[in-house]
Chain A
């Protein structure tokens, strides 16, 4: 290559570099050279998270609140957590706008409409849950929680450990997050124990905090013969655990096991009751979301997945037999190599149809 021929290229390169520094959308994260840091064009200093229930539920709300605070601490920014907000949050959002927040994470499927409207009116970016259709460039991102693959492993575990052959699933409502896991769990159970029976019970509509309801329904599921219960409930989970605790106290030779979701309750729940949990770690996507907001990449779908370690199974207790642990590991390997495909079913009708198909009668 001659020296003369290389000069125009050098000018082009210099021009690109200079132009890139001046343009706000110069470097898109996915186009960037691996390892390169995307240019920060909108430094984020204040974010907010709104949760419908209390952050004391060691579940959906608490994991998100803890997650955003951990990310904020790591990045040295401010995080406002508005918990227990219920579902009428317009005044709260207006208040957050007055506080000049740069991002509002609307942490409930019940906020799917109000938050995109708020974003459009105020021009403040929001993140919604389970509503990919709302995604808008620079303004609305979506968080998907597809934990069906990890729930499949929980189903394998339940199938291997049930003695009665009847397994219960108790849910506090039927949002996509729970529905994905219900079907994943059911498929894992069916694959492991084809003759198992599954008792599926819904506590009520938006009964996330109904601990008494969780206890009542779990009592009924246990009475129906279940000896492993997969519970998705947030605050109502404490009622489910209490029902199993009471059952186990009365039936020490026929103890039931509980599989939890989202949070880690192993510090407060007995080893012979809590089998495992499908853990959610929101920090992974909150970190990515704030980074994207700073580099003008906001407005896309973020998914908690096995790949980004946003979902995983809580370490199994020592009491679980080695061959069962191996069965779970085999299933996990099958999911990772693609030999096991787990259905992703977000809607309640789809859940019922799948359960009817898997467990007829």
Chain B
């Protein structure tokens, strides 16, 4: 490329990197609550897909983006409550339950998409509202990327300090951490282990559904089969990479988003690199970060362990 409009291109590069980070960020933040409470939710991929489909269907029918986003979160809550009921009260294996939800999410959304829309792709009739700050949006390169994104992007960013505050500084956050580290001690201290874990998984489900809804309703503005393409599992890795801490999770999500954006941006910038190589970059980056940052991470002691009062 000889006449590349560099400022516009770099702005697009930065903007798409930030957009790519959002579904991962939301899902990983929710997963941090669940895992801190001792629940390993491998159903996050299915919850994201469910949220994507529910969000798309409701937004298409109502013509309202906000309704679609809310529906995505609501479906995540519903799936989260199913996960909670099965694993907390019925003590079904968490791994199996999570995988079943992921398979269910993939199969059911594909079936419903075909049944309701005949497999014909439908674009949403409306677009998500964008922040448009005068002056700031016009700043070259970063203006549009940082200050001209859909509102849900800023809500996702705002969720980071809120999650950090709730997990680190509130009675509920303390209870979540307690039931994930030492459920017997928490129970003895009067904390309702089952109730706390259930609340945590509802937050996790809502956030995963919201992440999926963001993808379908705000970003791509349509639904396609299996459109999350493993982002739920990436969110799981990000949660561990971030050592269950919201700010670190944000850093990981942004790193991954920017690397994914660079993956296709570098060749356009004129770097002669094979797609197979640049395609590895985000995952290599994530792997390197995991090796450096997460090896010292101490998992919540009761992660994946069902709790039954009086039985150790």
A-to-B contact residues, CB < 8 Å = 53-58, 62, 84, 166, 174, 197, 199-205, 209-213, 215-217, 219-225, 235, 238-239, 241-242, 245-246, 249, 265, 267-268, 361
Contacts and interface: CB of A to CB of B under 8 A. Distances in A.
A204 B279 contact: yes
A58 B113 CA distance: 14
Given A62-B119, A220-B12, A268-B121, A215 B219 contact: yes
Contact of A216 (B20, B110, B121, B227): B20
Given A58-B120, A62-B119, A209-B227, A225 B12 contact: no
Given A205-B276, A238-B224, 13 more contacts: A56-B119, A56-B225, A62-B119, A174-B275, A201-B267, A209-B225, A219-B15, A223-B12, A241-B123, A242-B222, A268-B122, A268-B123, A361-B1
Residue from the set B20, B215, B222 with the largest chain A CB neighbour count within 10 Å: B222
Nearest to A199: B268
Contact of B224 (A56, A203, A221): A56
Contacts of A203: 264
Contacts of A235: 224-225, 227
Nearest to B274: A348
Contact of B226 (A54, A241, A249): A54
A212 B220 contact: yes
A57 B224 contact: yes
B86 to A, nearest CB: 26
A242 B123 contact: yes
Contact of A201 (B16, B222, B264): B264
B3 A238 contact: no
B220 A238 contact: yes
A62 B222 CA distance: 18
B229 A210 contact: yes
Nearest to A86: B226
A219 B264 CA distance: 11
Contacts of B219: 212, 215
A220 B123 contact: no
A197 B120 contact: no
Interface in B1-19: 1-5, 8-9, 11-13, 15-16, 19
Most buried by A among B219, B220, B222, B227: B220
Nearest to A267: B120
11 contacts: A56-B224, A56-B225, A201-B268, A205-B275, A209-B225, A211-B227, A212-B227, A220-B268, A222-B12, A242-B220, A242-B222
A56 B226 contact: no
A88 to B, nearest CB: 15
A203 B16 CA distance: 13
A238 B279 contact: no
Interface string B111-130: 00110000111110001000
Contact of A53 (B121, B123, B221, B225): B225
Nearest to A55: B119
Given A56-B121, A209-B224, A197 B261 contact: no
Contacts of B221: 242, 245-246
Given A197-B1, A221-B268, A84 B222 contact: no
Query: Top 4 A-B pairs ranked by shortest CB distance?
Result: A223-B12, A56-B119, A54-B225, A202-B275
Contacts of A222: 12
Interface in B151-210: none
B263 A219 contact: no
A225 B267 CA distance: 15
A210 B275 CA distance: 15
A211 B219 CA distance: 10
Contact of B121 (A205, A221, A246, A265): A265
Contacts of B263: 204
A230 to B, nearest CB: 15
Nearest to B110: A54
A238 B119 contact: no
B243 interface: no
A215 B220 CA distance: 7
A122 to B, nearest CB: 28
Contacts of A267: 120
B264 A216 contact: yes
Nearest to A217: B264
Contact of A211 (B9, B127, B220, B264): B220
Contacts of A249: 127
Contact of B268 (A54, A210, A224): A224
B303 to A, nearest CB: 30
Contact of B9 (A53, A197, A220): A220
Contacts of A57: 224-225
Given A205-B275, A215-B219, A224 B5 contact: yes
B265 interface: yes
A316 B295 CA distance: 58
B36 interface: no
B224 A219 contact: no
Nearest to B15: A219
B245 interface: no
A297 B12 CA distance: 54
Contacts of A210: 229
A224 B227 contact: no
A57 B4 CA distance: 32
Contacts of A223: 5, 8-9, 11-13
Contact of A225 (B3, B224, B226, B276): B3
A306 B254 CA distance: 47
Nearest to B215: A212
Among the interface residues A54, A197, A212, A246, which one has the most CB atoms of the partner chain B within 10 A? A212
A26 to B, nearest CB: 44
